[in-house]
Amino acid sequence: MRILPEDQLLAIELAKYDQKIILEALHNCIAHQDYHRNGRIIVTEYPDRLVLENEGSFFEGVPEDYISGHKTPRRYRNPFLAQAMAELSMIDTMGYGIHEMYAGQRRRFFPLPDYDLSDADVVQMTIHGKIVDATFSRMLIQKTDLSLEEVLALDRVQKHLPVDAKADYIHTRGQDDVFYTKLIMDYLNKYRSATRQDINKLLWRKLSDALDDEQKETKIGNLITSMRRSGKIKNSGSRRTPNWEIAE
């Protein structure tokens, strides 16, 4: 996979998957499988993702408890198997495994893993092997100081998933102007031009929920003005009906 950072000439080349992340996910399936159900661990490869499934409910909490790397499980469904795998360095008994998978995808600028627990008797995990939104990946390249919780919230936004309580503050706060500028520039690179209505449609749902409609209009107007004054974009239309393009 190739990612072209903003304002750079050389693309960053990355493997579609990271072997360590795949093994961590597979070993978790083996360690936490409910073997009383006589089921199978299933790994399905799609063109853009890997989906791993194991029998049994998620044991000891929920996946979100372990993303930060601060929770240690008190019990294991298969304690002797887990201990044996830990002694072979196949799994980590301190609860860092899920954290490392999320942090690993973040370091690779890829979408974060997804857990699906909609079936109470199955744990399903997806590892993405394709960029969902190039703006998200470029944001991770540019802003290395984002916390994992912030990256998780942005990841849910790019996937059009509901923003949960832990990530809601990100959606309320909104993103900085660098993020919005990248969205507009990516749009113009792809479609060559944009009307004010196009830009409104692009940004409206990504702006802070704390802003009312009038404040969102003002925010977008100020952003366009700033980009014009900095020489990033130009108006090829009229003052009444502007048509924005990337400045030469």
Where are the domains positioned within the chain? Answer: 2-169, 175-246
Question: What are the tens digits of pLDDT across the range 184-209?
Answer: 998 999 899 999 999 999 999 888 77
Q: What is the CATH number of domain 2-169?
A: 3.30.565.60
**pLDDT grade, residue 1 (50/70/90)?**
confident
Question: What are the tens digits of pLDDT across the range 42-100?
Answer: 999 999 999 999 999 999 889 988 998 888 888 889 999 999 998 998 988 777 899 99
pTM: 0.67
3-state SS, one letter per residue, for 36-63: HHCCCCEEEEECCEEEEEEECCCCCCCC
Q: Are 199 and 184 in contact (CB under 8 A)?
A: yes
Q: Are 246 and 188 in contact (CB under 8 A)?
A: yes
Q: Do domains 2-169 and 175-246 have the same CATH topology?
A: no
Write out the two tokens for 64.
Answer: 């979100």
- Give, rounded to a whole angstrom, the gap between the first and last alpha carbons of the chain: 29
Fold of 175-246: Arc Repressor Mutant, subunit A (1.10.10)
User: CA triplet 209, 213, 216: central angle to 5 degrees?
Assistant: 70
Question: What are the tens digits of pLDDT across the range 123-179?
Answer: 999 999 999 988 899 889 888 888 888 899 889 889 988 766 655 545 545 456 778
